[in-house]
Amino acid sequence: MRQQIILGFDPNIRFECVKCGSCCRIAFGNVIPLQLYPQEVSKIRRMGYGDSVIYIDHVHYIRAVDSHCVFLTDDYLCTLRIRYGWSPVNCRLFPITVKLINDVFILDLNWDYSSKVGCRGFGSGPTIAERFKDLEKLLHEVAEYVYGNVY
């Protein structure tokens, strides 16, 4: 990867998602506060879910209904993952947040949202450092979105 990475957290923190779906069940107003890249918006529209995207202050978000993501099933699963084996990269990165500025990835942990949703993934499983290869794949995807190679 040609981009540099700056970590805003201790990579020895242990995290393993327990797939509780809580991060898909807290809405801010009528949106889930995870930003979509424009290419993801196009993809969601092509899947036939254009009404599920909301545009606020130049940013696209997934619509929330009754305080949960419109794609969350009654079993707390993601409709997009079930039907298409895909979900927006910021959903997959959570609780890590990523900004790519001037070829530098700035990674942080979204403590505020994690504590609001009661994320139970912290403290167990491998360290984030041990999962860096997986994380790099997601960063590569972000780079493709930002540099415009994925449509």
| Residue from the set 37, 61, 94, 145 that interacts with ligand SF4 by CB under 6 A | 94
- Are residues 113 and 27 in contact, defined by beta-carbon separation less than 8 angstroms? no
CA dist., res. 141 & res. 135, Å (int): 10
Residue 72 within binding range of ligand SF4, rule CB under 6 A:
yes
Strands 53-56 and 59-65, by their bridges, are antiparallel
Q: Which residues are CB-neighbours of 96 under 8 A, at least 6 positions away?
A: 107, 108, 109, 110, 128, 135
Shortest distance, CB of residue 20 to ligand SF4, whole angstroms?
4
Residue 18 within binding range of ligand SF4, rule CB under 6 A:
yes
Shortest distance, CB of residue 71 to ligand SF4, whole angstroms?
4
Which candidate, 25, 58, 22, places its Cα nearest to that of 41?
58
* Region 19-58 residues binding ligand SF4, contact defined as CB under 6 A: 19-24, 32
Q: Which CB sits closer to ligand SF4, 120 or 131?
A: 120
Binding mask of the shown chain, residues 118 to 137, with x at each position contacting ligand SF4 by CB under 6 A: -xxx----------------
Give 39: exposed, middle or buried? Use CB within 10 Å, 0-12, 13-18, 19+: middle
CA dist., res. 92 & res. 74, Å (int): 20
Q: Which CB sits closer to ligand SF4, 3 or 26?
A: 26
Query: Which residues lie near ligand SF4 (CB under 6 A)?
Result: 17-24, 32, 62, 69, 71-72, 78, 80, 87-88, 91, 94-95, 117, 119-121
